[in-house]
Amino acid sequence: MKKTSLLLMSLLLGALSLSAQSKSPIEDMQHYGAEPLRFKSLKEWRKVHRPAIYNFFLTEVYGRQPEQKLPIRYEMLEQSDKALGGKATRKQIAIHVGESQNPILLLIYQPNNARKAVPAFVAMNFKGNHQINVDPEIIISQNAPKGKELGSDPARGAATSRWPLEMIVDAGYAVATIYRGDVDPDFDDGFQNGIHPLFYRDGQSKPAADEWGTISAWAWGLSRVMDYIEKDKSIDQKRVAVVGHSRLGKTALWTAALDERFAISISNDSGCGGAALSIRKMGETVAKINKSFPHWFCDNYNKYSDNEEALKVDQQGLIALIAPRPVYVASAELDAWADPEGEFLSALNASPVYELYGRKGLAIDKMPALSTPSQEGDVAYHIRPGKHDITSYDWSQYIRFANKYFK
C-alpha cells in the first residue's frame, strides 16, 4: 500500500473510533417509547433494560444528583407528646447540610401508645410546615413565604385539608414532612439558592446539562428524611411510603426510583413529568412545562420540547423503575392539565415489569369509574371527582393500600 493511502486509512479509522466514542449511550439506547414494557425475563430487565431506562431518566429528564457527600447533622429542636389533642408526638428536627446556615426543617407527627416502631408517610409540602396544621408550635421556616402572605400567622393551617393528620395517625402511621423551599426554592434563579451551590465544583456556577434540576434536588431532600428515619428507632425504616401531590408527586416517583429504601411510592395528580405519558400531549406538554418551570428538569430535557417522539422511553419507564415495590397513581376528574388517562396508561404500561418479578401489576386494563379504586395489584389507580388537589379521600385510599403491605 502506498504511504498516502496508509495515511488516509489510519485517518479514517481514527475518525471512526472517535465517533464511536463520542456517541452517547442515549443515542444507542433502544427506543421503548410509551409502549407496555414487556421483556422475556427478569434477568433481561435487570441486566439490560432497567439500567438503560434508569440512565435515561437520570441524565435526560431529572438530572444526576452529585456523588459528593456533605456532612449531615440532625438536631432535635423540639419534641412533645401532647400534639393533636394528646394522641400524637410531634418532633421537629433541623437537618443541617454541610456548612449551610439554612437547615431543612423536618416535622413529624407519630401516634402515641404504639407498641412497636410505626410505618410512615414521607411527603414534601408546598408552603411551609406551619401550613399543614393550625398547631401553634410548628416552627416557621426562614424560607417560607414572608411578608403580607404570612402576616401575624394567617397562613398557619392553610393547607389543613390536604393533611388529614388525625386520620393518618389514628391509622397507626407517622407523617414526616419538609418544605420544598428549604431544599430548593421553587423558582428559576439559575440555581444560585437552595442546595445546588453547596455541591458546585471549583469554578462551577450551575448544574451541567445532565445534572440535577429542582425535582432531583427535592428527591435528595426526601432521601435525607429517610436517613433520619433510619436513626429514629420509633419509626420503621422498612415501612415507609413516599407520597406527593402534583409537582411533589413527580418528585415522589423519582425519589422512589432513585432510593430503594422507600417501600411504596404514591403519585397524586402528578401529571406531565410525573405519571402522565408525554407522547399524548394532552394538557401540559413537555414544551409547556420546560417553559414555565425551566428549573424542574435537567437542561437535556429541553431536547424533548415539541419533540416527544424522541423520548427513548416515556413516563411508564419511571414507574417500572420502582418495581417490584408498590406504586399508587391517582387522578382527579377535572384535572385535564395532568391528563388522567395518560396517568392511568403509564401505570398500565409499567405493569408487565411487575409481572416479571412475580408480582401483579395494575389489576384492570380500562380506566375505572370515578371513586372505584383498583388496589388488587401492586400497581394501584383511582380517579375521584373534583379538581386538582389532594384530599382526605385520596389519603384514605393510600392508607388502605399501605395497610396491605405494612399491617
Q: What residues make contact with ligand GCU under the rule CB under 6 A?
A: 246-247, 271-272, 284, 289, 292, 337
Which cell numbers in the block locate residue 152?
401575624
Q: Shortest gap between Cβ of 10 and ligand GCU (angstroms)? A: 52
Query: 234, 388, 392, 396: which one is catalytic?
Result: 388
Query: 216, 246, 270, 351: which one is catalytic?
Result: 246
What's the rounded Cα separation, in Å, for the pair 343 and 359? 20
DSSP code for 235: E
Catalytic (active site) residue 196:
no
**Residue 17 carries which side chain, given as an amino acid letter?**
S
Adjacent-strand bridge partners of 95: 74, 104
Nearer to ligand GCU, 45 or 328 (CB): 328
Q: Shortest gap between Cβ of 270 and ligand GCU (angstroms)? A: 6
Nearer to ligand GCU, 194 or 271 (CB): 271
Q: Shortest gap between Cβ of 314 and ligand GCU (angstroms)? A: 16
* DSSP sequence for 263-304: -EEEEES--TTTTS-GGG--SS-HHHHHHH-TTTS-GGGGGG
Closest listed residue to residue 328, CA positions, set 277, 373, 283, 298 = 373
For residue 90, report the phi and psi dihedrals to the nearest 5 degrees: -105, 135
Nearer to ligand GCU, 17 or 161 (CB): 161
Nearer to ligand GCU, 289 or 345 (CB): 289
Catalytic (active site) residue 382:
no
Distances (CA, A) of 366 to 19, 295, 359: 46, 35, 19
Q: Shortest gap between Cβ of 303 and ligand GCU (angstroms)? A: 19
314: buried, middle or exposed (CB in 10 Å: 19+, 13-18, 0-12)? buried
Nearer to ligand GCU, 337 or 357 (CB): 337
What's the rounded Cα separation, in Å, for the pair 351 and 75? 41
Q: Shortest gap between Cβ of 272 and ligand GCU (angstroms)? A: 5
Active site residues: 246, 388
